[in-house]
Amino acid sequence: MSAELDRRRTRTQKKSQVNVQVEDFFGNVSTDDVFERDAIAEVDQINSMDIGTETKKPGYHLLSSLVGIEKDITSSDIEKLRERGFVTFESVMYATRRELASIDGLSERKVEKILSIISQTVNMGFTTASEIFVKRKDLIMIGTGSEKVNELLKGGIETGSITEIFGESRSGKSQFCHTLAVTCQLPVSRGGAEGRCIWIDTESTFRPERIAEIAERYGLDSNLALDNISCARVFNCDHQREILIEAAALMAANRHALIVVDSVMALYRTDFQGRGELADRQAHLGRFLRHLLRLADEFGVAVVMTNQVMANVDGSAMYGGDTKKPVGGHIMAHASTTRLYFKKAKGETRICKVYDSPWLPENEVRFALSSLGVIDVVEE
């Protein structure tokens, strides 16, 4: 391990001047020797950090801890729950009794026994607004790579909730997510969340080469950055929903900060066609989004999903309204905590607009795409 750190330190020292210039480009003006020594030390700290090891008490409780508490609850019961995506106390409490009782091998009596024990640990009742306020003050925001976008979002992408990014093709949605997949691994002091990333790829848009390029910008070892991202290529709506069971197991085993779904509606638009299947599509979509929201609550991760757009034919465009609207209807609108509208501008410049949010004002800023990921627009 020591030899590996020496190798990274040597490589960083060779690139120190380049790294300083890049940081200058994004707003950090220090270029002296102290800055270089600090930067090298911080890179060593980041690259040696084991994201898989919890440095603080997680906000969830593993179901495996129930074994031995009650003789009626066995490891076989826990395994049956795990196979259906229930790995924590919180996931069980968020489910309905009917959903739990439908698991083969679990009787209603055993379900009630498990719920009775878990309810003593997980608070499902009222909480004062002041307590919620204190918790939100400690909420981690994931930096986007652009200071302007961070300011727009009051710190970055919010953890513990769902952020939807919609826009036309080439509006920068996937590139934005690639940047987040790297920044979520950074220390909190650098705008990160010190966690891994899960990427659900429905359109074959994930590119590890981009991750490696963006990791270099932040002084991260590209191999470590790639190892901290678990990517699943999904091919139909059922697969898209079922992969969340595996995602829950991954998040219970290691600290994660981000789930990316790129894109959330692509498979639904092909697997369900016509008005005759619209109700089935929305019901399936609702279950998928509910599961996503449960994971965000359960593990405190940020969920970012990209979405496509369709023509807005309700007549509002005649009065200055948007000519495009996100796909997915009311179910998608209600599931997303924050909705961001991406639009293409001149060259590599893009526009990020707060389309809907419970706490962010409607506003927009410009950012740019580069080999380094999402950056601020360079004013000429």
Residues 24-62 have pLDDT tens digits of 323 333 333 333 334 434 445 455 555 544 434 457 888
Instruction: Give the mean pLDDT of 86-105.
Output: 91
The pLDDT value recorded for residue 60 is: 80
The answer, yes or no, to whether residue 304 has pLDDT greater than 60, is: yes
The pLDDT value recorded for residue 316 is: 56
The pLDDT value recorded for residue 47 is: 55
Residue pair 80/103 in contact by the 8 Å Cβ criterion: yes
The answer, yes or no, to whether residue 321 has pLDDT greater than 90, is: no
The answer, yes or no, to whether residue 307 has pLDDT greater than 70, is: yes
The pLDDT value recorded for residue 19 is: 38
The answer, yes or no, to whether residue 141 has pLDDT greater than 50, is: yes
64 vs 166, residue with greater confidence: 166
The pLDDT value recorded for residue 8 is: 41
The pLDDT value recorded for residue 74 is: 87
In the chain, domain spans: 2-48, 63-118, 133-375
Closest Cα to residue 164, out of 267, 333, 306?
306
CB under 8 A, 24+ apart: contacts of 79-87: 80/104, 80/105, 80/106, 81/106, 82/249, 83/245, 84/245, 85/244, 85/245, 85/248, 85/249, 85/291, 86/248, 87/62, 87/63, 87/248, 87/249, 87/252
Round the average pLDDT of the chain to a whole number and report it.
85
Residue 204, phi-psi category: left (phi > 0), alpha (psi -120 to 50), beta (remainder) = left
pLDDT band at 315 (very low <50, low <70, confident <90, very high): low
Rounded to an integer, what is the distance from CA 210 to the centroid of its chain?
17
Neighbours of 206 (CB within 10 A): 20
Q: Tell the CATH topology of 63-118.
A: DNA polymerase; domain 1 (1.10.150)
Closest Cα to residue 114, out of 83, 60, 78, 79?
78
Any idea which residue has 């509910």 for tokens? Answer: 290
The pLDDT value recorded for residue 163 is: 98
The pLDDT value recorded for residue 295 is: 96
138 vs 270, residue with greater confidence: 270
The pLDDT value recorded for residue 72 is: 79
- The CATH classification of domain 133-375, taken from the options 3.40.640.10, 3.20.20.70, 3.30.1330.30, 3.40.50.300: 3.40.50.300
The pLDDT value recorded for residue 51 is: 58
The answer, yes or no, to whether residue 308 has pLDDT greater than 70, is: yes
CA 258, 186, 359 angle in degrees (round to 5)? 55
Closest Cα to residue 374, out of 91, 74, 150?
150
